[in-house]
Structure 1
């Protein structure tokens, strides 16, 4: 069965402290976080990769990442495709002065003509661990074929160096009932807080690791049209069409069911330059512990 890994990498030019965070090596062989996500997805059974990038970075992306991944994927029988996110690809007029991308929902819509099968969506610069990929692939290819998401534990997703944004999830009988995008969540001596409000560190959270059946794209496309009609006029320069918010809107309207697949894996990411040393230490431990081989893809080809 064909299943796709959709990687949102159009923001790969965003900088953190003088470097491009998505291209920061995390091991001694120069692999980046995206390499590990691709490894784990292929290992779990995903056999088609779609990179969502911007057209202006295509040549650099292929040179630094794409060509290398395509070589590995050919040996594994995995397809590689590219989709291009464009700020002008919208159901209306581009607001004057708008330079901010439209968000994760529009990013996935950039790949809609390439997706005909169940798919998983991830961020390019987050390390999710193996369990989420395995569980989502199993759910997508099961007889029920449900929409799903990996449910991380908040305490496993925080940075020591500043605030992060997470989707705090409310769950009933293993299904998502509500999701609230919460900004500036910080570690505290007591646990965590967001702008002075305490948050349970054992709360389930979304890390933008979603599993969808292909029919979700029709709902996403309609949601983007609604967003452009209702929200863009109120905030033409900064409004964003985000997957968690769209899913939340569908939940309120009983327009979707999303199964939450718990994972105890620890998230690693480089939100801040100061995160880099700890992230590298963490990957060194994973390699030393035999979770990965030093030559990352050797166990797949």
Structure 2
């Protein structure tokens, strides 16, 4: 393994608006938590394991990444911060870190929790630190992505979302790069633009070499839409989760907690509750009588699951309380409350893929099972129902017995109108 290229710097991109991640984009999307840690923590930890010595995190003006990580320590890895004043794209983010970059460097997104695996592929490939190397992986839908035109492993051109049927290859670019520092001068030559990195790359190709680093299978670690969080959560549970019962935990004798479930400190599991593995329950949680938590549930601190509730492949951020009902393939932001009888549908009647509307565009999620994605501070009345794939903004109130069939914007009250009918008894 050619580790000498893995001991330098990595630029982590964490300044974007995350607009397609709504309604969970109240902070940068890499700050969503799985198993008690933000996604960017896992990325940094993996970079450290790969041998990177310095991470430069490009964040927005709110400095939310710096605030989140201020108490974290990563042995043998130094963290520096750069500010991207406006979210003008990847190229602008890299230039924001220019004064901190000292030599050849990696660039990757903040949610690349599989960074060690990816950098291992680079370490087996890189032979010349004066060449650009970038990760490519196969895709069955190349027209949806940026793809490469290749001559064996030599990159001829980057093409953004080619016309269907005219794709130069089926290898997409998932966004992990190795650049010589000289590349920064090419970035400075092109106009500021969301695709300035790619424009600079193609300018580089007119004069210099770039090589593809091939991944053997289509990657599933990406975080464009909120439902992409499920794949990342499963990856992290597979690679990080260890069954453990914390301190001062109360588990009723009739409750069933499978091996491979993590339960945090001061959590209570009441009679006849069932928790399937893999699963994560944080600190100070309550799992009520007869509750069923099926596989791949992640409940962050201070969660409450009421009696007879059923959860399946569901993620709660901090301080979410639900009463009885069904919550399948669903994500709740922080500080949410639901009344009893809440039902979140996660499968279409025709069993086709669930569609969801993002920024006005109806998207095929690629998932046959997807419930609702609900932002921070939601208040949901009794017997409310949600159709598969709906997105509910932060600080929304949903009236009792309402049927949510479409997205609800932030700070909205929504209720279904009913008409009472009164007749005299004869």
Shorter chain as denominator, the TM-score bin is: 0.5 to 0.7
Distance 2:230 2:128 in 1: 43
Q: Which whole-Å CA distance do the structure 1 matches of 2:83 and 2:189 have between them?
A: 20
Higher helix content, 1 or 2:
1
Distance 1:130 1:153, change over 3 A: farther
The alignment status of 1:273 with 2:258, answered yes or no, reads no
The whole-number CA distance in structure 1 between the counterparts of 2:20 and 2:31 is 10
Find out whether 1:17 has 2:25 as its counterpart.
Answer: no
1:85 aligned partner: 84
Correspondence 1:21-40 to 2 at 5 A = 21-25=29-33, 27=34, 29-40=35-46
Per-residue displacement from partner, 1:156-181 (whole Å, max 9, x unpaired)?
Answer: xx8xxxx9952111111311111111
> Which of residues 243, 249, 273 in structure 1 aligns to 2:203?
249
- Structure 2 segments unaligned to the other structure (5+ residues): 243-261, 263-426
Helix, strand or coil at the partner of 2:12? strand
**How far off is 1:139 after superposition?**
5.1
In structure 2, the CA distance between the partners of 1:36 and 1:198, relative to structure 1 (3 Å rule), is farther
d(CA) in 1 for partners of 2:129, 2:57: 27
Deviations 1:41-91 (A, max 9, x none): 222221110011123x12x32221x3244x1x2x2x22211111123xxxx
Deviation per residue, 1:112-142 (Å, 9 max, x gap):
11111110001123445533212334555x4
Q: Quick one: higher RCO (CA 8 Å, sep 6+), 1 or 2?
A: 1
| Cα distance in structure 2, aligned partners of 1:164 and 1:125 | 23
C-alpha deviations, 1:188-237, integer Å up to 9, x for none? xxxxxx7xx3588x8111112110111111121122xxx26xxxxxxxxx
Specify the structure having the higher radius of gyration (Cα): 2
Distance in 2 (CA, whole Å) between partners of 1:22 and 1:120 is: 18
Give every structure 1 segment of 4 or more consecutive aligned residues whose post-TM-superposition deviation is greater than 6 Å: none
* C-alpha RMSD of the superposition: 3.1
1:211 to 161, 166, 178: 178
Q: Paired residue for 2:100? A: 114
- Please tell me whether the aligned partners of residues 104 and 129 of structure 2 are also in contact (alpha carbons under 8 angstroms): no
Q: Which residue of 1 aligns with 2:70?
A: 67
Counterpart secondary structure, 2:161:
strand
Task: Assess, with a 3 A threshold, how the Cα gap between structure 1 residues 35 and 54 changes in structure 2: closer, same or farther.
Answer: same
Deviations 1:223-281, CA, capped at 9 Å, x for gaps: 2xxx26xxxxxxxxxx4343123212332xx2231111111363322322233334322
Aligned with residue 148 of structure 1, among 121, 133, 150: 133
Return closer, same or farther for 1:36/1:153 CA change in 2, 3 Å cut-off: farther
- Alignment correspondent of 1:52: 58
- Tell me the secondary structure at the aligned position of residue 6 of structure 1: strand
Q: 1:222 aligns with which of 189, 192, 196?
A: 189
Q: How many pairs are equivalent?
A: 234
Q: Which residue of 1 aligns with 2:416?
A: none
Q: Which runs of 5+ in 1 are unaligned?
A: 88-100, 184-193, 229-238, 295-301
Instruction: Measure, in 2, the Cα distance between the counterparts of 1:220 and 1:11.
Output: 18
Query: Cα distance 1:203–1:127, how it changes in 2: closer, same or farther (>3 A)?
Result: farther
Report the 3-state secondary structure (helix = DSSP H, G, I; strand = E; otherwise coil) of the residue aligned with 1:268.
coil
TM-score, reference length from structure 2: 0.49
Answer yes or no: is 1:133 the counterpart of 2:119: yes
Match of 1:5 in 2: 10
Structure 1 contact 127–267 (Cα < 8 Å) conserved: no
2:145 is paired with a residue whose SS is: strand
Structure 1 residues 63 and 129: alpha-carbon distance in aligned structure 2, compared to 1, 3 A threshold: closer
Report if the CA contact (8 A) 1:129-1:267 is conserved: no
